Structure formats: C-alpha cells, structure tokens
Amino acid sequence: MLAADGTPLKASLGRALRRQKIRALALIAPLLLFVLLTFVVPIVSMLFRSVENQIVSGTLPGTVVALESWDAGSGGIPSEDVFQNLFFDMFNAAEAKEHTKLGTRLNYENTGLASMFRTSGRSMDDVGEVFQDAIEDVDDQFEDGAFWFAMMNGAGGEDLLRERLERWVDLTGDDMRGDVGFVPSAEIVELLPTTAAAYTDFAIWTAIEDEDVVAEEDPWEAVYAALVVDLENPATGTAIAAYEGEGAEALQAIAAAEMPKADFTAAFADLDEDWANTDVWKTIEVYSSAYTTGYFLNSVDRELTPDGVELRPDNERLYIKLFGRTMWMSMIITLSCIILGYPVAWLLANLPMKSANVLMILVLLPFWTSLLVRTSAWKVLLQQQGVINELLVWLGFVDDANRLILMNNSTGTIIAMTHILLPFMILPLYSVMKTINPTYLRAAKSLGATNITAFRRVYFPQSVPGIGAGSILVFILAIGYYITPEIVGGTDGVFISNRIAYHISRSLNWGLAAALGTILLVLVLALYWVYDQIVGIDNVKLG
C-alpha cells in the first residue's frame, strides 16, 4: 500500500511517528537536561564517594607499591625500602600540602594518624637536611641550583618525566599542564635513578606550581637524600668512577666521602613512634586500594581489618540501631497520620462546600508555615514548663513534681512529626474520598447493611488508594527528616539523617555519609518494591 506521495505507507507512517517523537523529546529536553545536571549527576557523584579511596595510593604511590611485599601477619614493621619510599612520597605530599588530607582520611580508621601525618609532614625538610649539609660540606658546588640543573638535564629521560608528572596529577588533582623546561638525561637516570626521580619531582613542582625557572632554584632536601640513597648501592660507586658527564668530579668526590647513613626507618620512628607500630601499617595497607568497602562496612557497624570483616566493639555500634529506629518510628508516624488524618479527610469530603473550604484552610495553614517555626512551637508546648504540662498541672491531672516528659525523647519526635506530616496524608485521602460516590453507601444501607458494615465493606475499600498514596508520601518524607528530630528528639528520638548531617557538616567524613545515604536510599526503594508487591502501585491515587 502506498501513501499519497508514493512511498510505502509503513515507511511514511514510521517517519511521521519518528518526527513526533523527536519533537516531543525536544520539548522535554530542557527539563531532562536540568534534572540530569542538577539532580542525577550530583547525587550519583556524591554516592560514588562511598566507595572512592584513591587518596591513599594517590598520596603515597611508591609506599603503597613497596608495601605489597610486606606480610601484615608477620607482626613486624615494613622494610627500609617501604620507609624510603614513604620519605619521598611524604616529601612531595608535604610540598603540595596533601599529607594532612591523607592523615584526616586515615584518622577515621585509626585514631591518631591525623596528627602523625601533620607533624611528620612538617619535619620532612629536617630529615633531608642532614644529607644536604653533608653533601655541601664535601663540595659546595652542590649548593648551586644551576650546577644541579646542568648535571641532571639532558635528553632521553622523557619516560621518567611523564611518569613523575602522572604522580603529581594523582597527588594534587590538578592537570599539571605547562612546560617543565627540564628533561632528565638518560645517563643520569641510569646512573642515579632515585636522584633523577627526586630531581624531576622538584623540577615539575618548581616549573608548574611555583612558576619559577628550574635552573635558578636550589633543589629540595629530598634530592640530596636521594643522592645518598643512590650512593649506598655499591654498583653505583663503580659506575660513578666511570662516569664522564657533567659534574663527574663532584659526584666522585661525594661517592668517596663518608655520608650519613640513610636510615629512614629510624628517622620516621624518631618523628613519631607510631610509625614503628604494626597497626598503623596494617591500616595503611588495608586502605591502600583505590576503592574500598570500608565506608559501607562502617555504616553497618562493621570494620575492615587485615583479618577480614569484623563486628565493631559493643560500645561503638550505632548505625544499625539508628536505621532500625528510623524505620520503626517512621512507621509509627505514618500510622498515627492515618488514624488522625482519615476522619479529617472524611469530614472534608462530606461537608458542604462552604464549611469544607474553611476546614481546608485550617489543614493547609500549618502547611504554609515554616518548618522551623512549627517545630519550635512544639517545643514551647511540650517542654516540662510548657503549655501542656502547665495546663495538666493546673487541672490537677499531673502532680507538679512529676510533670510529663513529652520532648527530648522519641515521644516528642513522633508528636511533632505527625503534626508536620499530617497534610501529606490528608490531601491525597481527601482527593480520593471526594471521588467516592455517596450513592454507594446509601445503596448498601438500603440493602440492609449497618453503618459499620457499609463503611467497612463499601466505603473503606474505595479509600484504600488514598491511604496508600498518603502512606508512601508520609513514610518517605519521615525517613529522611532531620530538623525536627534534631530539635525535639533528644537522644532516643534522633534519626539516621541526623548522623548523615553530622558527617557531612561536622566530621567531614563524606565517604561515610555517602554510604549511609546510599543505604537509606536502597532501603526506601526496597520498601517501595515491597509495597508495590503487596498493595500494587497502580492502586495509589494522588487525585
């Protein structure tokens, strides 16, 4: 069959439909993009933090690699090789001021690491200065930045330069673009690998971050330390004797002289005795991978140890209890909203228009009042010297010495939140009840049903979709509530969201906050699914 223009009808129809679809898509595109950019992307990137852990391998790249050969079960501390890597990693990190971030991160897992990293980072210069002084005592040419540059610069070391650049990118998160103006010479890379690496690090930072000319700046203490490390290798001594490049004589003089021993294990243990503590190294090793389950385990009261996952000690378990309490109290709040909201909605739906409107305004009025104001009002009502207690004492129902404790506990949270969330129950209930035809009830009664039977078998089943919609709204809102429990909840009326807020704004443990948030989100979705299975989401009506 052909269309008017001679093309097959099927193709013509398909094209017309496609055009319509594209037009529809174009119409919703602004909203779609807006939602994607402002809602989905931030949430996903925030949730992603719950597993992200590049900071350890980014800040201590060499140490993490060297640590792989360490056996955590041996009970000893890692080898000198690890500490040597730690020194050069920490030196760079301290220059970039990244070491304290790592300290903060690891302090979540092992108390005391924050100050250990902070103070150690500050002393990295001193550790290296010993070697600098010794080298400069032998030959003062080494005090001169230009001398160093002439010795180290050349061609052929592009691979090393690229490798060190990548490390800086990982460490700082900057893209480190720009001309370094230095390429390590292949000969030096071969002869003095550690020194070449340390000098390249120095050159990159000097050229790109400080925006100085490498040849005019004196190298970092770490470069001198690296030279001593290289010279301790016996093979280097013989190679230097045969070396004829730039600075050969000076290098040979250093190689022949007595140098302080490079003992970084002792140097670190001197800075902080905890560097010689096996537990510290176990923590670093456990958290050295780029992604971690640690935050999620923390949020279910477990912890990651070298021996696997373990339950936290009794006095640190908190989150499972809070999740349970959040769920349980949200259910109670939803239930009390149904009990209180149902009759009100019924009244709204069945009163004459004029009085129903007045009642509707009464329902909506608190809805338009600030949440904080309503919660604070409840404080005035509920406290022990508050309006309700005063009234009860005055009426003689309550003894003055035994006033009711209505807030700073779970009772306060339930009362205040039920009130605040009530409109979310009443409105969907009302809109559903409005559509229930009153003739059904009359028909039931005329057929002999009592009031109760008519309500139970005819009216109530028709209002269930409203209950469903109201319950979902109230429950999901309640589960994420945070201000009201914070103000009236005391200690046993606070929710998991209060802890999430604490970790976002106070402890800055965003990884843990993200993990707690993800679990909460998954719980809500799971409950939604269960609800769909039992009640059926098609049965929910918002109007």
Partner 1 sequence: MKLTKTLLATTALGLSAASVMADGHMSSDMTLVSWGGAYQASQSAAYSDPYVAMNEGVTVTWDESSAEAVAKLRAMNEAGSITWDVVDVVAADALRLCDEGLALEIDADEQLAPAPDGTSAEDDFGDLLVGDCFIPQIVYSTTFGYRTDLVPDGVDAPDNICDVFDLETYPGMRALEKRPINNVEWALLCDGVAKEDVYDVLSTEEGQEQALAKLDTIRDSVIWWSAGADTPQLLADGEVFMGSTYNGRLFAAIEEQDQPIGMMWDAQVFDLDGWIIPAGLSEEREARALDFVYFATDTQRLADQAKYISYGPARMSSAPLVGQHATLGIDMAPHMPTDPNNAANTFLYNYEFWADYRDDIDAKFQAWLAQ
In angstroms, the Cα distances linking 478 to 161, 335, 418, 448 are: 55, 12, 9, 42
Residues 188 and 60: their CA atoms lie apart, in Å, by 24
Residues 157 and 467: their CA atoms lie apart, in Å, by 72
Number of residues that bind partner 1 (CB under 8 A): 36
User: What is the H or E stretch that residue 303 is in?
Assistant: strand 302-305
**Which pair of tokens denotes residue 252?**
């040979």
One-letter amino acid at 328 equals: W
Residue 315 or 437 having the CB closest to partner 1: 315
Using the rule CB under 8 A, is 209 a contact of partner 1? no
DSSP assignment of 514-531: HHHHHHHHHHHHHHHHHH
Using the rule CB under 8 A, is 504 a contact of partner 1? yes
**Identified binder of partner 1 from the candidate list 208, 486, 495, 518, rule CB under 8 A:** 486
Q: How far is the CB of 326 from partner 1 (least distance, A)?
A: 12
In the chain the first and final C-alpha atoms are separated, in Å, by 45
Q: How far is the CB of 499 from partner 1 (least distance, A)?
A: 7
Using the rule CB under 8 A, is 272 a contact of partner 1? no
Residues 344 and 466: their CA atoms lie apart, in Å, by 13
Residue 88 or 108 having the CB closest to partner 1: 108
DSSP assignment of 414-434: HHHHHHHHHHHHHHHHHHHHH
Residue 238 or 507 having the CB closest to partner 1: 507
Nearest one of 379, 362, 481 to 421, comparing CA atoms: 481
Residue 96 or 359 having the CB closest to partner 1: 96
Residue 111 or 402 having the CB closest to partner 1: 111
Residue 74 or 491 having the CB closest to partner 1: 491
Q: How far is the CB of 246 from partner 1 (least distance, A)?
A: 31
Using the rule CB under 8 A, is 402 a contact of partner 1? no
79-118 footprint of partner 1 as x/- string (CB under 8 A): ------------------xx-xx-xx--xx--xxxxx--x
Q: Considering only residues 306 through 325, tell me which ones interact with partner 1, judged by CB under 8 A.
A: 315-318, 321-322
Q: How far is the CB of 508 from partner 1 (least distance, A)?
A: 6
Nearest one of 142, 158, 138 to 150, comparing CA atoms: 142
Residue 19 or 321 having the CB closest to partner 1: 321
Using the rule CB under 8 A, is 193 a contact of partner 1? no
Q: Considering only residues 405 through 434, tell me which ones interact with partner 1, judged by CB under 8 A.
A: 408
Q: Name the 3-class secondary structure at 185.
A: strand
Residues 97 and 118: their CA atoms lie apart, in Å, by 10
Applying CB under 8 A, the residues found at the interface with partner 1 are 97-98, 100-101, 103-104, 107-108, 111-115, 118, 315-318, 321-322, 383-386, 408, 486, 490-492, 499, 504-509
